[in-house]
Structure 1
Amino acid sequence: MNIAKRSADIERQMGNVGVMAWLSLYPSLPSPVGAWLGSTLMVERIGLFPSSGEIRRPVLDPASLLTHLKSLYSQQALDIDERDGLKVIFSDWRFRARMHGSDPAIIITVETRCDPLLMPLKTAELLSQLEHFEKGMCSGIPQQTEELF
């Protein structure tokens, strides 16, 4: 089993959503040595999984957008988790898209595996897919399930 697939299996079992979930499992220790070690581990973890952070975008139909993203990326994905929105894992990156609780918006997070240069590219790709979907919704054109990139 390759490392990416093993990592996806562990994340699914742990319910991990990335760096923030990891940090919640390993809070800083009160001692100076513990704080230094915690900071070192945090920087190391962020280096392993560079993240876009949460990006909130208003959309007309968040549920349809999640279905659209799943159809776009499911063929290439190592794993898909739909427990809380949509989490799609690939060998070198992953994204999570979920609906905002109170208004028609979507929150996305993009993380890459040890590749800080890939993260902004995949974030831009995903945001482009959101814009393409919204333009199709506004113009009444049926959505195509092909990637723009």
Structure 2
Amino acid sequence: MKTFEQYLRDASGADVIDFRLRATSIAGQPTTFYVHPLGKDGETLDFTVIGNALVPNSAAGLDFGAAIQALKAGKRVARAGWNGKGMWIVYMSGMSLPPFSTQGTDRKVNDRTAKWIGEDTPLETLPYIAMWTVNAEGRRAWLPGWVASQSDMLADDWTVVG
């Protein structure tokens, strides 16, 4: 995947000095934009603005840093190189829950957790990355606390999913 800097450098080598920039901002959706050489045929780059990062709208080619930015912006991401189909990861923000012993609330510590931390202990969870994967029996499974391998961190085949 070509970076924005590479795109501009290549275009300047082709005597392109002016570009058309079109931004789209719709309430509740990320801002997107595209850049195209003005008055010449050439490559168009499409981006989504995620935090302070520009994430190319391509089928593949993101590095791990861009994948993390996409996760923090609420996107699902995956690697093209993963063996399982339909696998992806998401960022889960932290949360606080009242103790299991709390009355009259729909959201509270569940009995499985209360067994370990105590029925009168509130729960604070830290943010983490979770994976939608396949278990040993071939069934879909939720894996909280996914950890990237060195191969994952160095790969340039990350994609934004759906």
TM-score, with length taken from structure 1: 0.27
Between the two structures, name the one with larger relative contact order (CA 8 Å, sep ≥ 6).
1
* TM-score for the superposition, normalised by structure 2: 0.26
Instruction: Please say which structure displays the higher CA radius of gyration.
Output: 2
Instruction: Say which structure is richer in strand.
Output: 2
